[in-house]
Chain A
Amino acid sequence: MSAWKLVALGTISALALTGCGGGGEAGSGGTPAAAVAFPVDTTTAATITGTVRFAGTRPTLARIDMSEEATCAGKHPNGAFSEVAVVNSNGTLANVFVYVKEGLDAGLTFPVPREAVTINQDGCIYHPRVFGIQVGQTLNIQNSDGLLHNIKAVPTANRPFNISQPTNMTTSRTFTTPEIMVPLECNVHSWMNAFVGVTTHPYHATTGADGSFTIRRLPPGTYTLEIWHERFGVQTQQVTVGASESKTVAFTVRG
């Protein structure tokens, strides 16, 4: 019956329209397809260490007004301050994401680490603020404040998500596509921000209170290292490491 065919065609077209804009599947290029993961030869693996120095006037960090959230305000008896540009006491920059941008063989795949990465909401601040994760690796999102946070990821390559945690609980997510960087935000507390660097490989690090980073177990070769900071942008440097070599790299960010 042609009427039935018409209905079927119409329904299928309509459902296709649904899939078009609504779903937003953005590809799953990062997931390792082959079962054979790259075995790093520890006898020749190299290491890159480095620091990110800050040059310029140390920025004053604004105080965060948490008075609307008494529980969190109570966790910061000396006040909470913005973390957009944290310059350490030794003149280095914290919360800089460092990763190998180029130089790894295209055919290489890396096993997805079994350990999860945890981001914790405590005192209405994300801990850590900046971190790296591998495609397919579990991200545990923990709420330690006992009140509503929502975690909204606003990526461009990965599928966005927006999940709520009304109380102390942990929710897990994974990313399917490499992306530098995926912003995370809380809409209940608009000062909360974090940034995730999603890579296909384990060669990433984030600077901490001493402004240093270490990337281990690299196969020898020439690499482009990129650093990213939420306010000061990106910089790259070429590094060549030989077998079992340990090289030091210095970055300077101008404020």
Chain B
Amino acid sequence: MNWWYPTLPPNASSFGGEIDSLFYIILYITGAVFFITEIALVWFLLKYRHREGRKAVYIEGNTTAEIVWTAIPALIVVALGLFSQPLWSRIKVDIPADAIPLRITGKQFEWHIKYPGPDGRLDTGDDFTRRGELHVVVNRTYSFALGSEDVIHSFFIPVFRLKQDALPGTSIPGWFRATETGQWEIACAELCGLGHYRMRGRVWVHTQEEFDQWQASQARPAAADTTATPPPPTRRRAP
């Protein structure tokens, strides 16, 4: 993190790099506009400062200028928008069909991640759930169905450039493919109560062998359901 040239954290996902490129393109364009306009501003402040004997020039406007500085920004921003649209579609609209499925649920103040188990299918007998731990295989595509048990949360993995709000009552699809092995953090990015600041998780990107080993260690029944036997249902106050 430099003061003079800000950089983003490392990228570990397939679409993260494209998001970063867009970020930098916008940074260069807005940076150029910033320097041009602010330097002009300071230049005018200095050059046209009140001096005895010098009068302002009575200018009411310039239609050509208006047209130019309306059209050029319009073209730039619309082009930028159209240019970015395909990436957005690829990330949020087109969920790959052949991905390994996960079910991720946010609740005050934990992430629960349900794995499909060795058969690769959810809602079968070999599924298991982990609290706050996402284990994936590098260079494999995963899709997830994101939900919430209570309030709105937001599933955020900075190094994947992945963020999706979790909405109670809805299951929202998403996907990612990790491109680097390593261990990083998962955060909640939508205010969800007093524990919002600590709704952490961790993501491990493994090689296939490491993942297989880990998964094998998860399948034991005693360790299976880590939420243990749920207590009697909490009786809610009547509204």
Contacts and interface: CB of A to CB of B under 8 A. Distances in A.
- A contacts B directly in the complex (CB < 8 Å)? yes
Interface of A: 21, 24, 60-65, 67-68, 82, 84-85, 148, 150, 154, 156, 160, 162, 164, 183, 185, 187-191, 193, 230-231
B131 A65 contact: yes
Interface residues of B, number: 31
Interface stretch (B19-27, B47-55, B87-95, B229-237): B229-237
Contacts of B96: none
15 contacts: A62-B222, A62-B228, A63-B222, A64-B226, A68-B132, A68-B133, A68-B202, A156-B235, A164-B195, A183-B234, A187-B110, A187-B195, A188-B195, A191-B226, A191-B227
Interface in B119-174: 130-133
A68 B201 contact: yes
Given A62-B222, A185-B234, A188-B195, A68 B110 contact: yes
Contact of A188 (B110, B130, B234, B236): B110
Nearest to B201: A68
Given A62-B228, A68-B110, A190-B107, A162 B223 contact: no
A68 B198 CA distance: 11
Contacts of A230: 231-232
A142 to B, nearest CB: 18
A156 B236 CA distance: 7
Contacts of A164: 194-195
Interface string B198-239: 101110000000000000000000111111110110111101
Given A62-B223, A156-B237, 18 more contacts: A21-B239, A63-B223, A65-B131, A65-B223, A65-B226, A67-B133, A68-B131, A82-B229, A148-B195, A148-B197, A150-B109, A154-B234, A183-B232, A183-B234, A185-B231, A187-B109, A190-B107, A231-B229
A220 to B, nearest CB: 35
B17 interface: no
A160 B107 CA distance: 19
B108 interface: yes
Interface of B: 107-110, 130-133, 193-195, 197-198, 200-202, 222-229, 231-232, 234-237, 239
A240 B223 CA distance: 47
Contacts of A160: 237
A162 B195 CA distance: 11
B237 A190 contact: no
B110 to A, nearest CB: 6
A64 B228 contact: yes
A64 B230 CA distance: 12
Given A62-B222, A188-B198, A24 B227 contact: no
A187 B195 CA distance: 8
Question: Which of A21, A183, A188 has the most CB atoms of chain B within a 10 A radius of its CB?
Answer: A188
B46 to A, nearest CB: 51
B239 to A, nearest CB: 7
A232 B227 CA distance: 19
A84 B228 contact: yes
Contacts of A61: 228
B19 to A, nearest CB: 28
A231 B133 CA distance: 29
A57 to B, nearest CB: 15
A67 B218 CA distance: 13
Nearest first, the 9 A-B pairs at minimum CB distance are A65-B226, A82-B228, A68-B132, A187-B108, A62-B228, A154-B234, A164-B194, A84-B229, A193-B231
B198 A148 contact: yes
A193 B233 CA distance: 12
Contact of B194 (A24, A150, A193): A150
A62 B110 contact: no
Nearest to B239: A21
B92 to A, nearest CB: 28
Contacts of B110: 68, 187-190
A91 to B, nearest CB: 20
A65 B112 CA distance: 12
